[in-house]
A and B are shown apart, each in its own frame.
Chain A
Amino acid sequence: MSDLDEQFLSEARDLLAQAGEDLLALEREPASPERIDSLFRVLHTLKGSAGIMDLAPLGRLMHAAEDLLGAWRSGARAPSPALVDWLLAALDRTDGWLVDFEVTGRLRDEASDEAAALDARLAALCGKPQSGPAVEPPHWAATLLGSVDPAPKGPVLAVEYEPRARCFFDGDDPIDLLRSLPGLIALRVEAREPWPPLEEMDPFACNLRFRALVEGDSSEAQALFRFVADQVRIVPVEARRPPRPSPTHLDEAVIEEQRRLVDEVAADDEAVGRLASAARAAANVLRAFGKAEEAARIEAAGRAAVAAGTPAPLRAALDASGGQAWSLGSTALSTMALRVDPARVDALADLVGELIVAKNALAHLAAQRGKTADAPAVLRALEDQVAGLDRLTAGLQRAVLEIRMMSVGPVFRRFPRVIRDAGRSLGKEVTLILTGEDTELDKTTVEMLSEPLLHLVRNALDHGIETPSERVATGKPALGRIELRAVRSSDGVAIEIEDDGRGIDAEALRRTAIARGLLPPEAATSLSDEDALQLVFRPGLSTAAEVTDLSGRGVGMDAVRSAVEAAGGRVRLSSRPGRGTTCRLELPAGLLATRLLLVRVGEDRFGLPMDRTAETLRLPRSHVRPIQGGSAFVLRDRTVPLVQAADLLGRSHGAADGDPLVIVVAAAQGPVGLVVDAIEERLDAVVKRPEGLVATLPHLLGTTLRGDGQVLLVLDPEGLLA
């Protein structure tokens, strides 16, 4: 990617974010001339960049948006929710194109169709007759149309809906959406990617693609799919399919024909034979035209398709082979670019300068070797230099970490839109208050935050905030409130999501945990209300169909906890029934060193993060009491279960005589005593996430290198005790 491309992408993303903000502000305050001007500037700049980068569809779309805004500015047209929706859809589409551009260096082939479709939608909204060339219907539509009996009389739309893999976590139910699709005359459901074996299938990852034909006009379908507009393509189909523009080259014509054949292969009929022959035919013609590499690629894709029993791999390979591709945008995640304060780079440069001076001094000392009789003086000088290097490397590490810091603003600023769209579909009115957007965190942590926060905010809206009538009935203002705030805490940053909704009933959680067999009844009843609330983060709790008031709360709360903990943070929920719920994520500000406690279990040494250990004590053996096949002890009037680390880790026990050495771990379900053989030292280390083979070991938080070069495994106490 060239510098120009990079600059364009980074600038365009900023402009889009600004445009989204302006637009939502305009919806609240339609007459704000500053916002209209700002939005106008943004669209105009994007249009200009599109011209420079030769991205015609983007230019066309921005031009249409600019026209619309011009009409607002002049008063010729009043802003309406439908027009704001259209502008947001245009911005979303642009965002999708930018992802394509980042990955492939160009816009997807159907971008101009997409721009035309948005144009047409705007024209329809403004009551103008549709203009511009009709959008080409997709290949499969004709096949599907042939199966409809009796043949439809009115206009027909082809709807392709490819839900995001994580759509279930967003609360989407694609089939439920299709139920409401008026005029449905044909539907085909297929696997988007080849099915994995059942054992490997993530039951909460959507791998379906829906292709439907609908009789009627596009506005109803567009309205229905407006919240998943980026995952849907709606194209009019003519009852008699118009001839496709004929390919200019013979090889393209043959490939095109194979593409058509592959489309007709449903995943169920004599798929295998037809896929193999289509792959062979395409490969032959490519070879004949001297495109051996491409031919080999098609053949490989053909084998993959035959093996998987689905045309998808071959279809993708044929699409990549020039001609009109039909795909729904890449879902590749774009990473956030770092904007660095020049002062921070200067500080880094200064440190590097000092490092070079230090290196020269060491070189000078090395040259003294053998030349001077005053060896102790050389040693002293060496020690001084090592101390200096120590200080420098610490400074360098700090400076690099500072460069990686970015504000949570970009993540926070997505939420007004989320609240607006989801609130509208749920019929709830909510004000979102953002505070502390300037708070900085390490880049990887900020990127990680997006999904868990989305989940928590949607939960607050979906399950926390009541409907306006329920709120009024309980004496609350009809307008709900969700607050998203970031604050610096003593050892990092805390992010809180607070709602003033119905809250969570700790007693209901206890009952569910008992019913699901997650906790024995006595353990559950002994939990304080606050500890009981943390049960929502336990896997398996949410699957209880009978706890309807919690349904949906659990899918993903477990995922939230693991994402936050993977970033070295912790998450905690507090709630007052009827008053609201607060979820607090405590995150490390940077990739800081973790304090570890080095413990010995049998012959092996492990690290335990100090922040997860409440205290360590030597427990008189007489204080250990047997309970329910295990043992426990009483710590400050509280019964604390006792477990042998050696048992959990599958190691042999050390000497059983003497008083056990206990580390009290603050686990989700309350304190637990972990018996180890020895506590050796404390050390600061940067813990790396487990990778490769090590990643398959359970209960592992990560690894770190000890001073002697040995790898130290760092345990996840909560995982160990779960």
Chain B
Amino acid sequence: MSVRQQGSSLVLEGDCPVEDAEMLADLLRDPSIDGIDWTGAQRIHTAVVQLAILARLPVAGPCGDGFVARWIEPYMVATSEGKG
């Protein structure tokens, strides 16, 4: 399982294929979730990244997926801070 809940945070680990999007979306709907930790992720599918962007939650990074960390995470950090 590459998406799991740990306390009030969601942890993404290893490969996160497209199938994970559904479970992530379910977990994100829980209002007590207040952050995403993806330091242990390796290769994240766009569908999963998209949900992480949409959630606008604080992100514990840098993302373990180097491409996402380099190109997408800076954009998300700005978004989550901007939206409070």
The 4 A-B residue pairs with the shortest CB-CB distance in the complex, in nearest-first order: A203-B21, A203-B25, A268-B78, A187-B71
The residue that A207 contacts in the complex, of B21, B50, B75, with Cβ under 8 A, is B50
Q: A189-B53, A198-B55, A545-B19 are in contact. Are A173 and B82 (CB under 8 A)?
A: no
Most buried by A among B29, B50, B71, B75: B50
A-B contact pairs, 6 of them (CB 8 A): A168-B45, A168-B46, A198-B55, A268-B75, A542-B19, A545-B19
Cα–Cα distance between A163 and B45 once the two chains are bound (Å): 14
**Chain A residue with the shortest CB-CB distance to B78:** A268
Cα–Cα distance between A191 and B56 once the two chains are bound (Å): 13
Q: Mark A165-203, 1 if CB is under 8 A from B, else 0.
A: 000100001111011000010011101000100110101
Q: How large is the interface on B (under 10, 10 to 19, 20 to 34, 35 or more residues)?
A: 20 to 34
**Quick check: A173 and B46 within 8 Å, CB to CB?**
yes
Q: Mark A205-233, 1 if CB is under 8 A from B, else 0.
A: 01110000000000000000000000000
**Quick check: B22 and A204 within 8 Å, CB to CB?**
yes
**Quick check: A176 and B79 within 8 Å, CB to CB?**
no
CB neighbours (8 Å) of B50 from chain A are: 206-208
Cα–Cα distance between A195 and B68 once the two chains are bound (Å): 20
Q: Does B2 touch A at the CB level, under 8 Å? A: yes
* A554: min CB distance to chain B, Å: 7
CB neighbours (8 Å) of A159 from chain B are: none
CB neighbours (8 Å) of B45 from chain A are: 168, 173, 175-176
Q: Mark B54-71, 1 if CB is under 8 A from A, else 0.
A: 110000000000011001
Q: Does A64 touch B at the CB level, under 8 Å? A: no
Q: Does B24 touch A at the CB level, under 8 Å? A: yes
* A603: min CB distance to chain B, Å: 37
Most buried by A among B20, B21, B24, B45: B21
Identify the A interface with B (CB < 8 A). Answer: 163, 168, 173-176, 178-179, 184, 187-189, 191, 195, 198-199, 201, 203-204, 206-208, 266-269, 309, 542-546, 551-552, 554-555
Cα–Cα distance between A188 and B28 once the two chains are bound (Å): 24
Q: Mark B11-43, 1 if CB is under 8 A from A, else 0.
A: 000000111111111001100000000000001
Identify the B interface with A (CB < 8 A). Answer: 1-2, 17-25, 28-29, 43-47, 49-51, 53-55, 67-68, 71-72, 75, 78-79, 82-83
**Quick check: B19 and A555 within 8 Å, CB to CB?**
yes
**Quick check: A208 and B46 within 8 Å, CB to CB?**
yes
CB neighbours (8 Å) of A268 from chain B are: 75, 78-79, 82
* B19: min CB distance to chain A, Å: 5
**Chain A residue with the shortest CB-CB distance to B50:** A208
CB neighbours (8 Å) of B71 from chain A are: 178, 184, 187, 189
CB neighbours (8 Å) of A543 from chain B are: 19-20, 22-23
* A455: min CB distance to chain B, Å: 14
Cα–Cα distance between A207 and B51 once the two chains are bound (Å): 10
* B38: min CB distance to chain A, Å: 13
Most buried by A among B19, B21, B45: B19
CB neighbours (8 Å) of A555 from chain B are: 18-19
**Chain A residue with the shortest CB-CB distance to B15:** A545
Most buried by B among A203, A207, A266, A543: A203
**Quick check: A554 and B19 within 8 Å, CB to CB?**
yes
Cα–Cα distance between A204 and B24 once the two chains are bound (Å): 11
**Chain A residue with the shortest CB-CB distance to B54:** A195
CB neighbours (8 Å) of A175 from chain B are: 44-46, 49, 67-68, 72
**Quick check: B21 and A267 within 8 Å, CB to CB?**
no
Cα–Cα distance between A268 and B22 once the two chains are bound (Å): 26
Q: A206-B46, A545-B1 are in contact. Are A178 and B18 (CB under 8 A)?
A: no
Q: A198-B25, A268-B79 are in contact. Are A552 and B46 (CB under 8 A)?
A: no
CB neighbours (8 Å) of B79 from chain A are: 267-268
**Chain B residue with the shortest CB-CB distance to A270:** B82
CB neighbours (8 Å) of A188 from chain B are: 75
CB neighbours (8 Å) of A189 from chain B are: 53, 71-72, 75
CB neighbours (8 Å) of B67 from chain A are: 175, 178-179
Cα–Cα distance between A191 and B43 once the two chains are bound (Å): 21
The residue that A203 contacts in the complex, of B17, B22, B53, with Cβ under 8 A, is B22
* A574: min CB distance to chain B, Å: 24
Cα–Cα distance between A187 and B46 once the two chains are bound (Å): 14
Q: A176-B45, A203-B22, A207-B50 are in contact. List 16 more A-B contacts (CB 8 A).
A: A163-B46, A175-B46, A184-B71, A187-B72, A189-B72, A191-B54, A195-B54, A203-B21, A204-B21, A208-B53, A268-B78, A268-B79, A543-B20, A543-B23, A545-B2, A554-B19
